[in-house]
């Protein structure tokens, strides 16, 4: 007894009969797949998430991925476009729009606040850009970093021309340092947290941002010995 007696454990939440279901405004399989794909792909990476996991999370079947997106990679790309769009507009707009008045410290604050508010950006970069076979590397280089980098370098060059940065500063190396300071703390969160005793709570993030902006500006500005500015 008690072999199959109680709770036969139906796994499927929404038991649906075969064939086209009746109209239901709350049932949007395509969006459910995109939502599930966002949650799983962005956290664990393309390779580490199976089509079945996404289907289960979206309360449907793997065949629906094929039906709506062709295959797993098509779903990944559609999901990415939806996720990246707002961020791309944000960085492109804020830089080109108020281009003249922005300074390096403000740029650092913007970048770090964006990275802190969207943790999936860091995991996406680790899994799909920095990893050798990352599915997002080419697009990222072309559409994100490829557009961002020239603006950052131009900003630094202008700041150097205005005298707020050291004259012998290499803007390419400085841009790399700036990005390192802004991005790495969020990539390395899982290590830096326990090892340095960081909590990554809001208050600490703000202190980190202030610290970073000051470090970069001071480090890129000061000459070996402070020059006598007339």
Partner DNA sequence: CTTATATTTAAACACATGTTTAATATTGCG
Partner DNA sequence: CGCAATATTAAACATGTGTTTAAATATAAG
User: What does the binding site for its own copies look like in residue numbers (CB under 8 A)?
Assistant: 43-45, 47-48, 123, 126-127, 129-133, 137, 140-141, 145-146, 149, 153, 170, 172-177, 179-181, 183-185, 187-188, 190-192, 194-198, 207-208, 211-212, 214-222, 226
Length of the chain: 230
Out of 36, 42, 64, 181, point to the residue binding DNA (CB under 7 A). Answer: 64
Our CB check for its own copies shows the closer of 36 and 124 to be 124
- Distant-in-sequence contacts of 177-182, Cβ < 8 A, 24+ apart: 177/216, 177/219, 177/220, 178/104, 178/107, 178/108, 178/152, 178/216, 179/111, 179/152, 181/108, 181/212, 181/215, 181/216, 182/108, 182/111, 182/112, 182/115, 182/212
Rg of the chain, C-alpha, whole Å? 24
* Beta carbons of 178 and 107 less than 8 angstroms apart: yes
Q: Which does 60 bind (CB under 5 to 8 A by kind): DNA, its own copies, none?
A: DNA
Give min distance, CB of 77 to its own copies, in A: 19
Q: For its own copies, which is the closer residue by CB, 69 or 140?
A: 140
Place of tokens 């790495």: 184
Q: Is position 111 an interface residue for DNA (rule: CB under 7 A)?
A: no
**DSSP assigned state of 229:** -
**Is there binding between residue 63 and DNA (CB under 7 A)?**
yes
The residue assigned the tokens 């729009």 is: 97
* Residue in the block written with tokens 């395509």: 30
Interface residue with DNA, options 36, 60, 122, 123 (CB under 7 A): 60
Residue number with CB closer to DNA (67 or 184): 67
Given 43, 62, 118, 177, the residue binding DNA (CB under 7 A): 62
With binding defined as CB under 7 A, does residue 196 bind DNA?
A: no
Residues that bind DNA (CB under 7 A): 12, 14-23, 27, 29-30, 49-52, 60-67, 70-73
């Amino acid at each position: 007894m008690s072999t199959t007696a109680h709770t036969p454990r139906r796994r499927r939440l929404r038991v649906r009969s075969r064939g086209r279901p009746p109209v239901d405004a709350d049932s949007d399989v395509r969006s459910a797949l995109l939502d599930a794909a966002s949650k799983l792909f962005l956290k664990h990476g393309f390779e580490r998430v199976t089509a079945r996991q996404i289907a289960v999370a979206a309360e449907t079947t793997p065949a629906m991925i094929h039906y709506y997106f062709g295959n797993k990679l098509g779903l990944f790309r559609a999901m990415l476009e939806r996720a990246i769009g707002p961020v791309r507009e944000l960085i492109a707009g804020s830089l080109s729009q108020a281009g003249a008045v922005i300074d390096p410290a403000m740029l650092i604050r913007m970048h770090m606040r964006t990275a802190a508010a969207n943790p999936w950006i860091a995991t996406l970069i680790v899994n799909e850009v920095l990893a050798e076979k990352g599915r997002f590397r080419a697009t990222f280089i072309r559409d994100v970093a490829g557009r961002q980098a020239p603006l950052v370098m131009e900003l630094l060059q202008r700041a150097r021309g205005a005298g707020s940065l050291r004259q012998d500063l290499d803007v390419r190396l400085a841009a790399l340092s700036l990005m390192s300071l802004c991005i790495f703390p969020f990539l390395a969160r899982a290590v830096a947290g326990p090892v340095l005793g960081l909590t990554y709570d809001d208050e600490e993030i703000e202190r980190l941002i202030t610290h970073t902006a000051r470090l970069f500006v001071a480090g890129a500005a000061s000459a070996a010995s402070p020059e006598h500015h007339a």
